[in-house]
Amino acid sequence: MARLILGDLLTLDTKIPRARAMVVADGRIVAVGDPVEVSSPLRGDIDVLDFGDQTVLPGFIDCHHHMLWTGMADVHLDLSPARSIAELLDMVRRWVRDHPDGDWIISSEGWEIADLIEQRYPTRAELDAICPERPVYLARGGHEAAVNSAALLRAGLSPEGQWASGHLIEHARDLVRGQLPELSTQERKDALFAGQRRCLEQGITRVVEPGLSLAEVDAYRMANVSGQLRMRATLLGVVPSGAAAVKSAETFLPLAREMKDDPRLHFGGFKVFLDGGGSLGTAWLRDPYPGRPDYYGERLIEQPDLDALYEFAFGQGLPVGAHTVGNAAVDSALRSIARLRPASQVQHLGFSLIHAYLWPSPESMRTAAQLGVRVAAQPGMYARFAETLANRFGWEATELASPLRSWLSAGVTVGGGSDSPVTASSPVHGIWQAVTRQHGGRCLNPAETLDRNAALRLYGPGAAAVAMVDATEGVLRPGARADWVVLNGDPLSCRASELADLRVVATAIGGDIVHQTAQ
C-alpha cells in the first residue's frame, strides 16, 4: 500500500529543497512535491499521514555513535547522574549491595568528570574503602578508567607505585579491561535494544558504530537475522594499533561478505586508533604540549603498520576509519592513503578521519579533499570538552579547534556524529552546536560556525557519505529509502535559542513509524 506523507518537508535535496508531500511505497520514496501532483497517479487504498505544519526531514544519521556502549547504561552501572565524588561512590556502593552474587563491578562509559564538583576521578583508595574485595572498573570515554586495588591485581599490576592513583589511561586501561568477563549474549541484546530505543527517540535512523569486536559485530548480525534490529547500522570492526592489524582485519571478512547487500546492516570497514584524546592530553600533535617540550602526545601505531593496514583494506575494497584527534595523526593517516595505487580508485572507497579536530592544517585539508577522504566530526563533543582543552592549551588555541567550516570550505565531505555515550547523542543538539558553537554563553570562534542548512546536512548527506550509503539515505527524494523524522518546529526559521529545544515527534524507517511521541 502506498502512503502519502503531508507536512512541511525540508528535503535536503538541492533540486526540490521544500515540499508539502511525498509518496512512499515498498520502503522507498516514490515522489516528492505538491500534494495534488504526487497523489493524483495513486490508485487503490492510500494511507495518509498528515503532520500539518510540522517539519519532515530525512532521518538523522549519526556517523560516530557507540550504540552498544550507549545501551550498556541499562545493563551496567550507570554513573551519568553523579554530580560529586560522594554521589558516585554512593552509586557504586548501592550497586555492590544490590548485586551481591556478581564478581566485577563495571560501569557504562557515559559519565564525565566535568560533571563532578571535584573535577577528578575517584581514587583507588576511595574505591577500596567501599569495595575492597571485588574488582571495580569504572570506564569513561573509551580511553580512561578508575579502578580499585582488586582490579589492578587481577591484571597483574601493583596497587602501589605507578598505578597507585587507580586512574588508568590508554594502554594501562587496556591491561585491566582485558581481564573483564565477556558479555553474555543476553547482555548484548539488552544493550542493543536500549541503544536503539534512545536513537529512535532522537530521530536517528542509522548509526555508524565504530570500533566493534568480532563478537559485537556478530551480535548485530544476530539481531538483524532475528528481526530485532529496528534501525540501520554501518559497522566498523576494530583492529589493534600495531603489526597485528592486518591479521585481525582478516577475521571480519566473512561477516563483511554476508552483509554486503543488506539494506539494514552494512559492514563499513575497519577502525584503527592512531592517537589518544584531546581532553585526555594524549592526542598526537605536531607541536609539543604546553609546558612539556618533549611530549607530543601518544602515537599508537607506527607508519609501516598503518601503511600495511590501508593496503590490505584497499585491496579488499573496504575503507578505514582512522581515529585521528591531533593534527600529526591526521597527517599520518593521509600519508598512508596517498600511497595507495591506483589513485583513481581511492576517492570512491570512503576512507574517513574520525574526530580530526585539533588544528588540522590547510594543507591536510586540501590533501583530504583531493583523496576523497571524509571527516566524521562531533560538534557537541568539542563544546563538551572546551573547558578541558582550554585548561591545557589556552582559550586562543581552543577556539581554533574543530574547524568545521574550514573542512567544508576545502571541499571535504563532513558527517555529523556524537561519539555517544561520551557526549550527548541528540542530532538536534549537534546541529545547534554546529550553528552556535556555544559554550558557557560564548561563541567559540564565529568564523567556524555553520549556517543552518550546512549544519543539517552534516546529519543528512554528509553522514550518509561517511556511512557509505550516500546514494540512498540522508535526503528526501525519489528512489531514496523512506527514512524520515518529524520535528515540532522548523530548524531553518526558528530562533537560535529555540533550535536546541526542537522535539522529535516521529521517526520512520522504510516508511514505517518506529517511534512517535504522544501529542
Q: Is the pLDDT of residue 422 over 90?
A: no
More confident residue, 379 or 144: 379
Cell of 371: 583523496
What are the pLDDT digits (tens) for 298-317?
A: 999 999 999 999 999 999 99
* CA proximity to 213, closest of 173, 175, 240: 240
More confident residue, 246 or 180: 246
Cell of 111: 559519565
Angle of CA points 420, 423, 425, to nearest 5°: 50
Are 111 and 83 a contacting pair, CB within 8 Å? no
Are 282 and 170 a contacting pair, CB within 8 Å? yes
Q: Domain spanning 185-449 has what CATH number?
A: 3.20.20.140
How far is it, in rounded angstroms, from Cα 325 to Cα 273? 9
Domain 2-59+480-516 belongs in CATH node 2.30.40.10:
yes
How far is it, in rounded angstroms, from Cα 150 to Cα 152? 5
- Rounded mean pLDDT, 501-505: 96
Residue 377 banded pLDDT, cuts 50, 70, 90: very high
Architecture of domain 73-177: Roll (3.10)
Residue 519 banded pLDDT, cuts 50, 70, 90: low
Which neighbouring-strand residues pair with 322? 272, 353
Per the prediction, the chain carries an average pLDDT of 93
pLDDT of residue 69: 86
What are the pLDDT digits (tens) for 469-480?
A: 988 999 999 999
Residue spans per domain, the chain = 2-59+480-516, 73-177, 185-449
Report H helices in 79-170: 85-98, 124-130, 149-154
Q: Is the pLDDT of residue 419 over 80?
A: yes
What are the pLDDT digits (tens) for 113-168?
A: 888 999 899 999 999 999 999 999 998 877 789 999 999 999 998 888 888 899 99
Are 364 and 327 a contacting pair, CB within 8 Å? yes
Are 230 and 509 a contacting pair, CB within 8 Å? yes
Q: Which residues contact 427 (CB under 8 A, 6 or more apart)?
A: 60, 62, 202, 203, 204, 416, 418, 459
| High-pLDDT (> 90) share of the chain, % | 78
At residue 31, what is the residue type?
A: A
How does 280-312 read in b/e, with b if 16+ C-beta sit within 10 Å?
A: bbbbbbbeebeeeeeebbbbbbeeebbbbbbeb
Provide the greatest CA pair distance for the chain. Answer: 77
Q: Which residue has the cell 579536530?
A: 357
How far is it, in rounded angstroms, from Cα 331 to Cα 341? 18
How far is it, in rounded angstroms, from Cα 377 to Cα 325? 10
How far is it, in rounded angstroms, from Cα 276 to Cα 283? 5
Consecutive H or E run containing 172: helix 171-177
More confident residue, 359 or 219: 359
Give the Å distances, CA to CA, from 264 to 233, 239, 295, 368, 430. Answer: 6, 23, 44, 29, 24
Are 451 and 519 a contacting pair, CB within 8 Å? no
What are the pLDDT digits (tens) for 249-276?
A: 999 999 889 888 899 999 999 999 999 9
* CA proximity to 115, closest of 354, 385, 319, 371: 385
pLDDT of residue 130: 94
More confident residue, 282 or 111: 282
Q: HSE of 134 in the Cβ direction (CA atoms, 13 Å)?
A: 19
* CA proximity to 422, closest of 181, 219, 144: 144
pTM across the whole model: 0.91
How far is it, in rounded angstroms, from Cα 266 to Cα 470? 13
Are 32 and 19 a contacting pair, CB within 8 Å? yes
Whether 2-59+480-516 shares its CATH topology with 73-177 is answered no
Rounded (10°) angle between helices 185-201 and 214-225? 70
Q: Is the pLDDT of residue 518 over 80?
A: no
- Rounded mean pLDDT, 272-292: 94
Q: Is the pLDDT of residue 434 over 70?
A: yes
Residue 417 banded pLDDT, cuts 50, 70, 90: very high
Number of H helices and E strands in the chain, helices first, is 22, 21
What are the pLDDT digits (tens) for 312-368?
A: 999 999 999 999 999 999 999 999 999 999 988 998 899 999 999 999 999 999 999
How far is it, in rounded angstroms, from Cα 22 to Cα 410? 34
